[in-house]
Amino acid sequence: MSLETEVALWKPQTSLEGKTDELATLRGIPLFRDLDDVALTRLSKLLHERHYAPNEVVFREGQTGAGMYILERGAVDIVLRLADGSEQCVVSLKAGQFFGELALLEASPRTATAVVRQPTVLLGLFQPDLDQLLDRNAKLGARVVWNLARMTGQRLRELSDLMRERAASAPKGTS
């Protein structure tokens, strides 16, 4: 990865069209469901737009996380490093999807590495901004946190189902 790819490209002004695109992206995110356009506009002010080049790492497994990312454009692979050092792509995310949301709840180590596969635009929502939102607009902040709790529960259920499925398909006598 060249040094140039690390440099964030900052767009000084967001066009009206770009703003509409951003709201449309946010409307599709489960974390922001049930929020009206006024609330979404307020939330969009908290988001940080970041531009990434192919093969650039968004974050690495084990690093302390500060927040979540929403994929506005492009693609991101979520990669696990296995015990023997080998790597496994557990999911490839596309526009409208999101990742890293657990770091919104606590500054815990990232559980996987996120690698960009094509020119990508991410919208970052970070714990300090969510804290500030809870302080200053508790109603809106509480709705986001409530949605986050529901999503976390849903992901836990999905994980349990996956483990059950794998356990069922594994040959008898293996663990």
Partner 1 sequence: MSTPPVFPAGTLIPPRVTLTLAEKVVRAILGVAAVGAVGAVGWLLQFLLAPVVLAVLLTYVLTPLADRLENRGLSRSRAVGMCFGLLALLAVALVAGIAPSLEHWLTMAPKGGETSDFEVQLETRIAAWEGLLLHSYPAVNWGKGFDHVREMLQHQRRMLVEGLPTMVLGALSHVGAVVLGFVIAFFALLDGAVMKKAVVALVPNRHFENALLMLHRIDRQVSAYLIGTALENLLVMGLVAVPLLALGMPNALLFAALFGAANVVPFVGPFIGASAGLLFSLLDPAAPSLLSLVVVYAVVHFVDAGVISPWIMGKSLDMHPLTVIVGIAVGGTLGGVPGMLAIIPSIAVVKAIATTVAEGVRNDATG
List interacting residues with partner 1 (CB under 8 A): 1, 3, 6-8, 10, 12, 45, 48-50, 52, 55-67, 77, 79, 81-82, 85-90, 109, 113, 115, 124, 126, 128, 136-137, 162, 165-166
For residue 56, the minimal CB distance to partner 1 (Å) is 6
Of the pair 32, 52, the CB lying nearest partner 1 is at 52
CA distance 84 to 16: 49
Q: The dihedral of CA 15, 17, 23, 26: what is its sign? A: negative
For residue 168, the minimal CB distance to partner 1 (Å) is 11
Residue whose entry in the numeric block shows the structure tokens 């770091």: 103
CA distance 65 to 49: 17
For residue 60, the minimal CB distance to partner 1 (Å) is 4
Of the pair 150, 170, the CB lying nearest partner 1 is at 170
What SS3 string covers 121-149?
EEEEEEHHHHHHHHHHCHHHHHHHHHHHH
For residue 118, the minimal CB distance to partner 1 (Å) is 14
State whether residue 1 is helix, strand or coil: coil
For residue 1, the minimal CB distance to partner 1 (Å) is 5
For residue 64, the minimal CB distance to partner 1 (Å) is 6
Of the pair 136, 172, the CB lying nearest partner 1 is at 136
Of the pair 67, 148, the CB lying nearest partner 1 is at 67
CA distance 157 to 86: 27
CA distance 58 to 147: 24
Q: Which residues have CB under 8 Å from 173's CB, separation 6+?
A: none
Of the pair 23, 39, the CB lying nearest partner 1 is at 39
Of the pair 150, 160, the CB lying nearest partner 1 is at 160
